[in-house]
Chain A
């Protein structure tokens, strides 16, 4: 069940962890209403800090998922909006953010095929942020969560998720596909001696979406919901920025009625 890194002559083959699950997502842009419930849910689930109006205006919002609103023409009143575009970490198979980190803070998980961000290791060079073509990486510009600096946020700390680290200043963060939920489900399945069932758990954003626009699941299971969705909509499916060839794990559906 576990993956073994097959490299001749390599000493530490110990990269076997848990059952293999290649996790992916399907996001249906035609269903998305732009309500931003996913943004709120993700922030609550992953202890994403609140940055305040001034910094957010300057581009320093910390949201791991953002809803992009774009217009096709700018001449009022002939303004035509495109579909809302939820943009989050695409968990690329050939992630451009990984080889540029000098301290191995951004590495690839072999068993789950996810792009991991190791907060403890990050020294804050921000090369990964520059190199991400989707610009989904968020940097902790200040100590947002430190109650000595922001005493007004102390009560908000009561809602924090104990499964997720709280990041300090100088550390890069990004969407992890709610890896804490993945690991919980993997541990449960491992202890029960089975594979994870499709739909057993899901990410915070997928859970919160009222229009069911976000679906999370296993890409390597042909019967999983996301594979069924992709098969049912062959003409609407595409990968974001396909020409950059990062091989992302998220399929967007758009273009239907």
Chain B
């Protein structure tokens, strides 16, 4: 007879969880990490140049030239019509703003929550934010009928005796996206300063030396400079979180304020924020996989634990997204408004119903089937594929809300299905531009915030309590 209440595990050869698999417990001398970051910036293979050339060509022809045609000929080259006044350009805008939320989530929310595994990839995520917002801004400009007059939307003193109308959700958009773009760029730059100082110290000549010298601002690392920098970073980390929530909420209000069936839903605010996080986290998984596979030495910095963190977040956010989507689905399904039901019917049974089914499968079924398994989460290529599928699903979600939802309205005589035309090459162009900007950035600035990694490594200790090795984190800030 045993005294234990439940049978104990027999002592077979236990997997000794080696704490050194975590980057915080696997420190290298700072000089070595600096050298790794700098060398991965300069080790450029011929494939890099080929890919860059292809991307640049796509940007010039698919984006630049087609946009020129769009401006000179008019919005008729796009697929928009009555009643589908808004089309793929708006889908792109919402999609790119969604991608941009991931950066802020990782660099701000994970920082506030003190999740240490974030340290190696905060800058890579923050770059996604900045470049994603650039694409969003371009996409909204593409959609304007008279884009050369867009400055009329800016609230600056003018001689026209008329200012923009802040009753309009589009003006709230302008204020919110401008705030978010400026603030996330500043938040990208602040932790970059010490790494630029490191790059300045390690670069002897060439055109990059004055670039680093100017941008490093003369940073040395004195107590006063660190205090100012860390205070500013803390203010940003706390303040940019409500801005992040407000930006995508305001973008969702472009649709919720409209009196269209299917759009005028009160759940759109939080639904879009969660949707943004969903696609953003998934995009981070793809970017981390690409960085780890293509950049030299990045398998030291980006390890299984980073993918595990992202994978867990992706699973949680997909559950939250499913919750909000069910909310948005249930209310019109239950009845009441005949027009809301018609929109739903068209989405589920119309000619584009396959988009809806695909969206549900990749947004809910795929993450729920794969991301619960830790081993799978820690496999980079698998997580990247799941991330890619989720991004496809989220793009389809916005496509269903905007061009498909807008087809059904209260005047059945006007119903007409939208077909994207010039939007297709221009969308491909924005993706190419995003990748191109990222690739150029990877050559110019170190993508790993090495000082933050070292800061974390200094604070982590392995302590032996009893027979086990326990990880401890000291509050050194």
Q: Do A and B contact each other directly (Cβ–Cβ < 8 Å)? A: yes
Contact B413 A68 (CB under 8 A): yes
A125-133, A184-192, A210-218 - the one binding chain B: A125-133
Q: How far is the CA of A140 from the CA of B75 in the complex (A)?
A: 8
Contact B146 A70 (CB under 8 A): no
With A60-B82, A123-B152 as contacts: A134 and B165 at CB distance below 8 Å: no
Q: How far is the CA of A122 from the CA of B41 in the complex (A)?
A: 47
Residue of B nearest to A128 (CB): B85
Among B145, B162, B258, point to the contact of A170 (Cβ < 8 A). Answer: B145
With A123-B149, A170-B146 as contacts: A59 and B409 at CB distance below 8 Å: no
With A123-B149, A124-B145 as contacts: A133 and B167 at CB distance below 8 Å: no
Contact A103 B152 (CB under 8 A): yes
A169 at the interface (CB under 8 A from B): yes
**B380 CB to nearest A CB, Å:** 42
Q: Is the interface of A mostly helix, strand, loop or mixed?
A: loop
Contact B260 A127 (CB under 8 A): no
Contact A141 B75 (CB under 8 A): yes
Q: How far is the CA of A59 from the CA of B80 in the complex (A)?
A: 9
Q: How far is the CA of A140 from the CA of B145 in the complex (A)?
A: 9
C-beta contact mask, A173-206 vs B, less than 8 Å → 1, else 0? 0000000000000000000000000000000000
B168-176, B361-369, B387-395, B436-444 - the one binding chain A: B168-176
A13 at the interface (CB under 8 A from B): no
- Which of B144, B258, B260, B411 has the most chain A CB within a 10 Å cutoff? B411
A99 at the interface (CB under 8 A from B): yes
B406 at the interface (CB under 8 A from A): yes
Residue of A nearest to B411 (CB): A135
C-beta contact mask, B61-91 vs A, less than 8 Å → 1, else 0? 0000000000001111000111111100000
B150 at the interface (CB under 8 A from A): yes
Contact B170 A127 (CB under 8 A): yes
C-beta contact mask, A219-243 vs B, less than 8 Å → 1, else 0? 0000000000000000000000100
B463 at the interface (CB under 8 A from A): no
Chain A residues, CB < 8 A from B74: 140-143, 169-170
**B171 CB to nearest A CB, Å:** 5
Among B73, B146, B170, point to the contact of A122 (Cβ < 8 A). Answer: B146
Q: How far is the CA of A133 from the CA of B260 in the complex (A)?
A: 7
Contact B413 A103 (CB under 8 A): no
With A102-B171, A103-B152, A123-B153 as contacts: A134 and B411 at CB distance below 8 Å: yes
Among A104, A139, A169, point to the contact of B162 (Cβ < 8 A). Answer: A104
With A130-B258, A241-B410 as contacts: A104 and B165 at CB distance below 8 Å: yes
**B469 CB to nearest A CB, Å:** 60
A121 at the interface (CB under 8 A from B): yes
C-beta contact mask, B149-171 vs A, less than 8 Å → 1, else 0? 11011000000001111011111
Q: Is the interface of B mostly helix, strand, loop or mixed?
A: loop
B266 at the interface (CB under 8 A from A): no
Q: How far is the CA of A124 from the CA of B414 in the complex (A)?
A: 20
C-beta contact mask, A94-121 vs B, less than 8 Å → 1, else 0? 0010011111100000000000000001
A40 at the interface (CB under 8 A from B): no
Q: How far is the CA of A169 from the CA of B147 in the complex (A)?
A: 11
With A99-B168, A122-B145, A141-B75 as contacts: A130 and B260 at CB distance below 8 Å: yes
Among A59, A85, A102, A140, point to the contact of B168 (Cβ < 8 A). Answer: A102
Q: How far is the CA of A68 from the CA of B413 in the complex (A)?
A: 6
With A100-B168, A104-B165 as contacts: A169 and B75 at CB distance below 8 Å: yes
B29 at the interface (CB under 8 A from A): no
A7 at the interface (CB under 8 A from B): no
Contact B82 A121 (CB under 8 A): no
Contact A244 B168 (CB under 8 A): no
Chain B residues, CB < 8 A from A143: 73-74
Q: How far is the CA of A96 from the CA of B257 in the complex (A)?
A: 9
- Which of A137, A142, A169 has the most chain B CB within a 10 Å cutoff? A169
Contact A70 B412 (CB under 8 A): yes
Chain B residues, CB < 8 A from A121: 152, 162
A138 at the interface (CB under 8 A from B): yes
B259 at the interface (CB under 8 A from A): yes
C-beta contact mask, B330-368 vs A, less than 8 Å → 1, else 0? 000000000000000000000000000000000000000
Contact A170 B81 (CB under 8 A): no
Among B147, B171, B259, B416, point to the contact of A131 (Cβ < 8 A). Answer: B259
Chain A residues, CB < 8 A from B257: 100, 131
With A87-B411, A102-B168, A123-B150 as contacts: A129 and B82 at CB distance below 8 Å: yes
Chain B residues, CB < 8 A from A85: 413
Residue of A nearest to B255 (CB): A130
* 26 residue pairs A–B, Cβ–Cβ below 8 Å: A59-B81, A59-B82, A59-B83, A60-B76, A87-B413, A96-B258, A100-B169, A102-B170, A102-B174, A123-B150, A124-B146, A125-B143, A130-B83, A130-B85, A130-B86, A131-B260, A133-B411, A135-B409, A139-B75, A140-B145, A141-B80, A143-B73, A169-B73, A170-B144, A171-B146, A244-B259
For the A-B complex with A126-B143, A133-B410 known, give 6 more contacts whose Cβ atoms are closer than 8 Å: A59-B84, A100-B167, A102-B164, A123-B149, A139-B75, A143-B74
